[in-house]
Amino acid sequence: MAWTVEYVPGNDLVLLIVTDELLDEEGKAQVAETIHLLNEHKSTLVLVDCSNAVTKVSLPSIYRLPDYATELGAPWNVRIAAVIPQTRFQIEMFDFFELVFTNAGYDVHLFDDRESAQAWLRRPPPPRIGPHHITSS
């Protein structure tokens, strides 16, 4: 296991760091642990640092992650900043990650470095209407 997930109280965020291969079979475990910590600490910020990772995931496994996150109770207003690998190996997998999570209603952005990602997370989020705000006429 070449990844860690922890809650960082000073920044009120969950930090996921992948330091080696990013594999299909570990994706669900990473999502589950991240959501557990988000809910435990009532946080809505996630920093995913894959700057030293080597991407070895498939498109179908990425495609299923947003639904899995929703099933596990991910906060509807979560903001996810992902730092892409320095090597840019299979960068299209990160673009797809951003696309499917955004299409599922999550606020996800990709960054080249951790400092930019953290700066984005520190900014106030734009106003959003969550699922519990939708009313029928």
**Number of domains into which the chain is organized:** 1
Give this prediction's pTM. Answer: 0.86
State the Cα–Cα distance between residues 108 and 95, nearest whole angstrom.
Answer: 10
Contact 78, 44 (CB under 8 A): yes
Q: What is the CATH number of the domain that holds 22?
A: 3.30.750
Predicted local confidence at residue 20, as pLDDT: 76
Give the closest residue to 46 by CA, choosing from 80, 70, 83: 80
Domain that holds residue 97: 3-133
Phi and psi angles of residue 3, each rounded to the nearest 5 degrees, phi first = -150, 155
Summarize pLDDT for 81-137 with one digit per residue, the tens: 999 988 877 788 899 999 999 999 999 999 999 999 999 999 987 776 555 444 444
Owner of token pair 């106030």 = 124
Per-chain mean pLDDT for the chain: 87
State the Cα–Cα distance between residues 27 and 42, nearest whole angstrom.
Answer: 22
State the Cα–Cα distance between residues 42 and 114, nearest whole angstrom.
Answer: 23
Predicted local confidence at residue 54, as pLDDT: 79
- pLDDT band at residue 40, thresholds of 50, 70 and 90? very high
Strand residues in the chain grouped as ranges (E): 3-8, 13-18, 21-23, 45-49, 54-56, 79-83, 107-111
